[in-house]
Every structure is written in structure tokens, then in C-alpha cells.
Amino acid sequence: MYTLACQAKCIQCILMKKETIITVRLPSEIKDVIQSLADSDERTVGWMVRKLLTEALEARDLLKAKLKGK
């Protein structure tokens, strides 16, 4: 279920320019979790990976959040 804060984060991810491609090898368990999250939000795996990476970097103060919905 989306909240207003979640919608702001989604808009931020959509507006971010995607200009670099990376390839990552993951254990199948992690891939399955990401796939499940993507399916439950009706998103692609790529979108979900970008969202999870963005959230992790922001939580470590390595990436500034452009939109604060809290």
C-alpha cells in the first residue's frame, strides 16, 4: 500500500536520469525476494533494484534525498 511519502519516493526514482548499466550476480534467494517485491508493487525488477539501492544509499547518507515526504 502506497502512502504519500512512498509516492514522493516513486516520483523521485522515475525522474532520476538512468544513464549507467551495471550487472550484478546475486544468490537466487535475493533475486526471488526482489522479484516478489516487484510483483507485489506491479513494478519491474529493475525499478525495484533502483529503489532498494537508492533507499540503502540514502539511509547511509551517501546519497541526498531530493524529495522528503516524511
Residue type, 66: K
Identify whether the C-beta of residue 67 lies closer than 8 Å to the C-beta of residue 13.
no
Whole-angstrom distance, CA of residue 37 vs CA of residue 55: 14
Write down the mean pLDDT value for the chain.
83
So what's the pLDDT on residue 20? Answer: 87
More confident of the two residues 2 and 28: 28
User: In the predicted model, is pLDDT for residue 2 greater than 60?
Assistant: no
What is the pTM assigned to this prediction? 0.68
- Could you tell me the pLDDT band of residue 49, with boundaries at 50, 70 and 90? very high
Helix residue ranges per DSSP H, the chain: 4-15, 28-40, 45-59
Whole-angstrom distance, CA of residue 65 vs CA of residue 51: 12
Q: How many CA atoms lie within 13 A of 52 on its CB side?
A: 15
Q: What is the mean pLDDT of residues 35-46?
A: 96
